[in-house]
Amino acid sequence: MNVGIIGAGHIAEKAAWTLKVMDDMQCLAVGSRSLEKAQDFAAKYGIPRAYGSYADLLADPDVDLVYIATPHSHHFAVTRDAILAGKACLVEKSFMANVRETAEILSLAKEKGVLVAEAIWTRYLPVQDMAREIIASGLIGKPYLYSATLSYEISAKERVLKPELCGGALLDLGVYGLNFVRMFCASPVVATSSHCIKFPTGVDASETITLEMEDGSMACIQTSALCQGENTGSISGTAGCLIFDDVNSPRRLSVYQKGHVLVKEFEAPGQITGFEYQFRACRDAMAAGLLETPQMPHSEILYIMEQMDRLRASWGVRFPMD
Ligand SMILES: NC(=O)c1ccc[n+]([C@@H]2O[C@H](COP(=O)([O-])OP(=O)(O)OC[C@H]3O[C@@H](n4cnc5c(N)ncnc54)[C@H](OP(=O)(O)O)[C@@H]3O)[C@@H](O)[C@H]2O)c1
């Protein structure tokens, strides 16, 4: 399984490092808008082929899976080109700018018989299955409250600030909170209330989001691109509370019951960076002839994108492609 990386930026480095350490998949090529940048990146991570355009990488017949690590604003065009070149795609979160782009890409992928997945890496971690098993075991009873916080001080990043790059805290960080809730609560959202403050550029800088689900449960999500957050998660049920020490990459899950008594702790399995699971999920789905990964099916990609479109509309945060 040969992976090609498109966009030699910050997160591509983490993906390249992960693939370098993995012994069951490899990064064959990197494509950048600059050949020099691609060559430097390839040299750093021992990648055999470097291309000075995305089109050149897509024309490489040995690339099986393309990992798209451009800003959100550029996911659509690059993914479209990749599908038309017959390449399976793993597209960084947030998947697209909006629902319209998402629906178009998913339908094109189906038409062309190409796998397309979202690199929302948290969905693929085995620790999430552990958490689901803990909930199913009844240790915390019936869940009624979900809480997720995720904040980083990334306010100087162009990609986060500019509407034309689909900036804002929601598509960058809030998307993880929405996925956290949805991973453990399949009940549909029936009501949403939220508040955001914006950067002077007009995109959201910080937000709080409250969701009400059909099954009577609720969720609170806090996200900011202005500060370093505690970044924990929790699920509270009738018998206890399950705490995630890190909402995105939990190393430890702890169960507390009445009186704040710690009754059980679970360690997450070891990992390289955690990104390896999303790559393996694509490989396994392709081997099984699937066009989506079971961990993040297309219906879920759409569901999360619909929530983000609604939130942005309520805040008046618009991208040029909306
Ligand atoms: N999974 C995670 O933990 C995680 C963390 C951070 C970000 N992300 C996601 O990864 C994606 C990229 O984020 P990043 O932080 O890696 O961004 P970044 O450092 O700015 O890199 C993005 C890369 O995209 C390419 N690009 C193409 N058109 C561009 C344009 N008009 N402006 C800027 N760059 C352009 C550039 O690569 P070339 O110059 O080589 O063409 C650039 O290096 C986003 O979707 C983001 O949400 C995921």
pLDDT of residue 8: 98
Ligand 1 centre from 192 Cα, in Å? Answer: 30
Check whether residue 102 and residue 10 sit in a common domain: yes
For residues 180 and 91, state if they share a domain: no
What dihedral do alpha carbons 149, 154, 157, 160 form, nearest 10°? Answer: 20
Which ranges of the chain have pLDDT less than 70? none
Atom 20, ligand 1: residue with shortest CA distance:
9
Provide the whole-model pTM.
Answer: 0.97
In this structure, are residues 97 and 165 in contact, taking their beta carbons and an 8 Å threshold?
Answer: no
Co-location of 146 and 178 in the same domain: yes
Q: Which residues contact 278 (CB under 8 A, 6 or more apart)?
A: 90, 117, 119, 120, 121, 123, 124, 293, 295
Q: Considering only CA atoms, which of 268, 297, 302, 271 is closest in space to residue 285?
A: 297
d(CA 269, CA 255) in angstroms, rounded, equals: 17
pLDDT at 4: 98
Do 62 and 146 share a domain, yes or no?
no
Residues with CB under 6 A from ligand 1: 7-12, 32-34, 37, 69-72, 74, 92-93, 121, 159, 172
Q: What per-residue confidence (pLDDT) applies to 148?
A: 98
75-84 vs 99-112: helix crossing angle, rounded to 10 = 10
State how far the Cα of 296 lies from the Cα of 183, in Å rounded to an integer. 9
What are the C-alpha distances in Å from 158 to residues 98, 161, 165, 226?
A: 19, 5, 8, 14
Judge if 251 and 137 occupy the same domain. Answer: yes
Ligand 1 atom nearest to CA at 38: 40
Residues 90 and 139 in one domain: no
Residues 157 and 257 grouped into a single domain: yes
CATH number at residue 227: 3.30.360.10
**In angstroms, what is the span from residue 92 Cα to ligand 1's centroid?**
9
CA 73 – ligand 1 centroid, Å:
10
Measured CA to CA in angstroms, residue 175 lies from 52, 139, 172, 214 at distances of 31, 28, 6, 21
Based on C-alpha coordinates, what's the Rg of the chain?
20
Q: Let me know if residue 310 belongs to a domain.
A: no
> Residue 13 CA: which ligand 1 atom is closest?
16
**pLDDT at residue 272, rounded to an integer:** 97
Q: Which atom of ligand 1 is nearest to the CA of 31?
A: 40
User: What residue has token string 């909006």?
Assistant: 98
| Cβ proximity of 139 and 255 under 8 Å | yes
Q: Is 253 helix (H, G, I), strand (E, B) or coil?
A: strand
Q: Cβ contacts of residue 299 below 8 Å, gap of 6+? A: none
Nearest CA to ligand 1 atom 4: 11
- What CATH number is attached to the domain comprising 84? 3.40.50.720
Structural domain containing residue 102? 2-117+275-291
Tell me the C-alpha distance between 39 and 50, whole Å: 5
Helix (H, G, I), strand (E, B) or coil at 237: strand
Q: Does 257 map to a domain?
A: yes
Tell me, what's the pLDDT at 34?
A: 98
Burial class (CB in 10 A: 0-12, 13-18, 19+), 309: middle
DSSP per position, 64-111: -EEEE-S-GGGHHHHHHHHHHTT-EEEEESS-SSSHHHHHHHHHHHHH
Query: Ligand 1 mean position to 75 CA, how many Å?
Result: 10
- Any domain includes 162: yes
In a domain, 318, yes or no: no
pLDDT of residue 39: 98
* Rounded CA separation 59/297 (Å): 27
Q: Are residues 159 and 176 in the same domain?
A: yes
Please give the structure tokens belonging to residue 114. Answer: 């190409």
Provide the number of structural domains found in the chain.
2
